[in-house]
Amino acid sequence: MQENSLFTLSSTRLPFDHFISGALIAGMGAAALGFSDYLNNRATKKDIAKKIAKYAVTGGFVGAVGIHASNLIAQKKYLNAAAFTAAGIGGLLIAEKLIKLESK
C-alpha cells in the first residue's frame, strides 16, 4: 500500500524560513484587524504599527519553534522536540514582556 504524501512529515526547511512565514502570516492578520480598528476610530496608525510589529515577531517566533519541533518529531527526536518547545514557550513569554503595546 502506498503512503499518502499529504500526511508525510518533512524536515527540509530551516527554522528561519519558518520565522519568516509565521511573521508574514501574523503581520497580515494584525494589519487586517488593525485597519478595521483604524476605520472605526478605535486605534491610531501608531497603535496599528506597534500591533503589526508585535504580532509579526511573536508569530514568526511561534512558527519557527512549532515547525522546527515538528521536524524533530519527524526525525523521532521526541525529547529534543519537547525541550525545544519548552524553550520556545519561555522565549515567547520573554518577547511578550519586552514588546509592550500600551503607551506610558
- Which grid coordinates belong to 36? 478595521
Q: Please report which confidence band the pLDDT of residue 1 belongs to, taking 50, 70 and 90 as the band edges.
A: very low
Q: What is the pTM of this model?
A: 0.74
Domain residue limits, the chain? 14-98
- Which grid coordinates belong to 9? 512529515
Return mean pLDDT, the chain: 86
Write down how long the chain is: 104
pLDDT at 11 over 70: no
Beta strands in 1-104 (DSSP E): none
Q: What are phi and psi of 95, to 5 degrees?
A: -60, -40
What is the rounded distance in angstroms from the CA atom of residue 93 to the CA atom of residue 71?
23
Candidate from 15-19, 27-31, 41-45, 63-67 with smallest mean pLDDT: 15-19
